[in-house]
Structures are given as C-alpha cells and as structure tokens.
Amino acid sequence: MNISKDTLFAVSLFPYLGFLYFLTRSGVFPRLALIGFYCLLIFVAVTIPAGIYARVHYHDALANIDWLHGGAEVFLTLSNILVVLGFRQAIIDLKKVKEIDN
C-alpha cells in the first residue's frame, strides 16, 4: 500500500477538527491558546494554495521558494505564539487563584 504524503496530510485534517471541536466544547481550555490552535487552520489554508502556486509557477516544491515558504510559515509562527501566550496566561491565572486560596 502506497499512501502519498498529500493523502496523509488531507486525512489528518479530520482528527484535528475533532480535536478543535472537543477543546471548544470543554469550556475550560485557555481562550488565547484555542485561538492559536484555530490559527493553525489558517496556516493550512494558506500553505495548500502556496504549494500549488510554487509547483505550477516555479516547477518546484514550496520549501524551495523562500519568499513563498516564509510567507506561509508566518501563520504557523503566529499560531505557536498564541498557543504559548494562552497557556502562559492560564498558568499566571492559576497561580493567582492559588495565592488567594492560601
């Protein structure tokens, strides 16, 4: 059985959407981190057409077209920053609650 990386990438979207669904429904996940995980979908939405453009226009992979690849990676970086800041804020808030309880 030969499964291409593109097929695997497309199929992996469904578990990720399930992950987002349950995080959103939980109501306890840090909001900013949740926004960061949703921003990852923007990265995917930008990367797919950028990859197609790189293949059609430059006859090369997206990773080899620096300006195009870097532009797409901005959304991944933004997503990561939001996730980290969201969890950072959650830890700060938890520490404040524990200080009040003591």
72 exposed, middle or buried (CB, 10 Å; 0-12, 13-18, 19+)? buried
The answer to whether 22 touches 37, Cβ cutoff 8 Å, is: no
| C-alpha distance across the termini of the chain, in Å | 59
Q: Encode pLDDT of 61-102 as tens digits.
A: 989 999 999 999 999 999 999 999 999 999 999 999 888 887
Q: Encode pLDDT of 41-52 as tens digits.
A: 999 889 888 989
pTM score, two decimals?
A: 0.83
Closest CA to 12 of 38, 42, 44: 44
Q: 71 is written with which tokens?
A: 């532009």
